[in-house]
Amino acid sequence: MPPQLPPGVRIHHADDPHPTSTITANPNSKKHRSLLATTPFPMPGTTIATFPNPLLALPSGATMRTTCNYCLRPQQATKGAGAGAAPLKACTACQAAVYCNPDCQRAHWRAVHKAECAMFVRVREQAGKGWLPTPVRAVAQVLMLSSDNNKKGNGVREAFEELEGNVEGFRRDGSVRRDFELQAAAAVVYAGLLDTEETLEKAREVLCKIQTNAFNRLDADTGMEGIFLDAGLAMVNHSCVPNAFVGFDKRTAVLRAERPIREGEEITISYIDNTLPKSARHEALRLYHFQCDCPRCKDDLDVYEVCQASPAIPLNSFSLQPDLSKLRSPPIDRSKVSKAEIEAIYKKWQTVARPDGDDEVEHLKVAQARWELCRPLVEAKMWAVDPLPATIHELATRWQTSYKMVVYALPLLCFLSTECDPFTLVAPFMPWRIKGILAITKLLAVTGEFTASGELATRCTHEGLVGTLAMADQVSMCEALLRLAVHHGSIGAAEDWGVLKEAKAMLEDLESLVGREQESNLLRAWAKDPEDPEAAAFFEDQVLRPINTLSSFAVEALEAMLGGNSLVKK
Ligand SMILES: C[S@@+](CC[C@H](N)C(=O)[O-])C[C@H]1O[C@@H](n2cnc3c(N)ncnc32)[C@H](O)[C@@H]1O
């Protein structure tokens, strides 16, 4: 039985002799089924389809104790965003699954908990634990809902039968097979089923299908915690140059256009971090058992080449990188580093492991080694090519919480948002870009306080950095950044996304400050019409210029900290 699909998409079978569309998937590909658009989606960011009835939606592992087991909202996300975070309540029978309210609890009981509640009682009695590893719980749910005496769950069995599982491929993969065997055995025992070879084989097959089709990430970017599997959404294939992406709004997956999509065109998403070098992408795709033949892989395009060809470039007119000519023609020097060298750098970079503990000296040594490996990319000014942005991001994250380095984190964050992110994620509504903007805003709130209290010069020896911050209207910078975050967050993410809620709450606070109505009015006018001459000039002068100046100090700060240069610079 084919999966129920929402409007906007339909399934195409590779062997369909009568395609109803002229724009179909490549007939030579081994994709089997794919998802096509039934109507055009010309505007990037548009919702293509929503998937509100997943076969599986569960929080990961022990987070089932801190995340609503039905709507998947983590406890922290309900806090601090003005929602009046009531504590999550546990099911009185098993004491394992927790819920944000009785409606969620009732809905989860009907969906699956009626079948699994006794399992958690067993888990507590037999293993003394209040939770199960995610794959074990997921497989147990499928087995219990598919069992003959569970009539309500019969749709689950049929839907799973239809899913691609690459079962043979997983059988040949020794390390994965061993994991699957252990997880399957645990699921069968805890589900209270007879551990016959037939049931164990069924459980292993379910694991293969979950691995192939589920969104399986603990992903703060999308606001999702755990596993999500919808039989219709599972029809969407991978491309390293996708035209769509998936976000989550509680239990609903939202498929959105990342670039314009024509009627009948295949919809693709990226299963992996598609900005990685080719061999790293192929390693990450190993679990999906296919050879990617997208343009990025075929021609081994780097992030700059993909960016240059992206139809999403004009959207950056309203962003921290509004210089569209720079996106179309990036000022990089490819003669300084070949693609083969980039692959080699990435491989070596991965072998320099991050220390486990919090020892600053150890972390510094690793950062120095990684920065040194990235030297050819630095010389080529290919800031957006991994592992360079990852190296900078890791340092920025550490410095943000370091007493000594917190001010220096600001240029790094500005640099990431102007010189890296717009090239790797060309559409400005992509969640990672919005998170980057919010991170700058939060740091400006800290440096703003240092500036007001006169503490800045004691925290930072870089005169240019101190001077820029002293001259800047840091409150207006924050307001403009928040307006960008709210605008793009409302396009690319759910209303409920923690980052968006936080940006909205911060913006409301700023707007209510007395004495800066003129600045606020100008920024409001700029957000409404970025072409408005007076408002655009204000943004250019008061926001973009200082952000770019701060960004211009990033490489100096990195060279000073990692390359042994002096930080005391004019
Ligand atoms: C989530 S399913 C996608 C739907 C799948 N094509 C089907 O017919 O059920 C993932 C599997 O689809 C296949 N697949 C996805 N993207 C592909 C691609 N770009 N080229 C070839 N096969 C692909 C692989 O077998 C992969 O493990």
Separation between Cα atoms, residue 97 and residue 220, nearest integer Å: 21
Enclosing H/E stretch for 216: strand 215-219
pLDDT of residue 3: 85
Ligand 1 atom nearest to 164, measured from its CA: 9
Q: With beta carbons less than 8 A apart as the criterion, state whether 412 and 365 touch.
A: no
Residue having the nearest C-alpha atom to atom 19 of ligand 1: 238
Residue having the nearest C-alpha atom to atom 4 of ligand 1: 235
pLDDT of residue 496: 84
DSSP-derived letter for residue 199 is H
Residue having the nearest C-alpha atom to atom 23 of ligand 1: 31
Query: Which conformational region is residue 264 in: left (phi greater than 0), alpha (psi within -120 to 50 degrees), or beta?
Result: left
Among candidate residues 229, 255, 254, 252, the one with its CA nearest the CA of residue 242:
255
Query: Which conformational region is residue 200 in: left (phi greater than 0), alpha (psi within -120 to 50 degrees), or beta?
Result: alpha
Separation between Cα atoms, residue 159 and residue 4, nearest integer Å: 10
Burial of 324-339, coded b for 16+ CB within 10 Å and e otherwise, reads: eebbeebebeeeebee
Two structure tokens written together for 488: 């793009």
CA 257 to chain CA mean position, Å: 15
Distance 228 CA to ligand 1 centre (A): 17
Compute how many other C-beta atoms are within 10 angstroms of the C-beta atom of residue 429.
22
Q: With beta carbons less than 8 A apart as the criterion, state whether 382 and 346 touch.
A: no
Enclosing H/E stretch for 157: helix 154-162
pLDDT of residue 250: 86
Convert the pLDDT of each residue in 126-166 to its tens digit.
889 999 999 999 999 999 999 876 766 568 999 999 999 99
Distance 31 CA to ligand 1 centre (A): 5
Helices 339-351 and 360-373: crossing angle, nearest 10°?
Answer: 160
Residue 417: pLDDT over 90: yes
- What is the residue extent of each domain of the chain? 9-52+235-298, 56-218, 303-316+335-563
Separation between Cα atoms, residue 35 and residue 261, nearest integer Å: 12
ipTM above 0.95, yes or no: yes
Least confident segment among 80-89, 440-449, 479-488: 80-89
Ligand 1 atom nearest to 239, measured from its CA: 19
pLDDT of residue 88: 94
Distance 143 CA to ligand 1 centre (A): 24
| The residue type at 137 | R
- Ligand 1 pocket check: which of 36, 163, 164, 170 to mutate, most ligand atoms within 8 Å of Cβ? 164
Distance 385 CA to ligand 1 centre (A): 27
Convert the pLDDT of each residue in 346-404 to its tens digit.
999 999 988 888 888 899 999 999 999 999 999 999 999 999 999 999 999 999 999 98
Interacting residues of 109 by C-beta distance below 8 A, sequence separation 6+:
117
Interacting residues of 366 by C-beta distance below 8 A, sequence separation 6+:
352, 353, 354, 355
Pinpoint the alpha helices (H) of 39-101.
75-78
Query: Which homologous superfamily is 9-52+235-298 in?
Result: SET domain (2.170.270.10)
pLDDT of residue 295: 95
pLDDT of residue 81: 47
DSSP-derived letter for residue 229 is E
Q: With beta carbons less than 8 A apart as the criterion, state whether 456 and 73 touch.
A: no
What is the rounded average pLDDT of the residues 303-332? 98
Distance 292 CA to ligand 1 centre (A): 10
Residue having the nearest C-alpha atom to atom 9 of ligand 1: 164
pTM score, two decimals? 0.93
Two structure tokens written together for 169: 């491929």
More confident residue, 223 or 492: 492
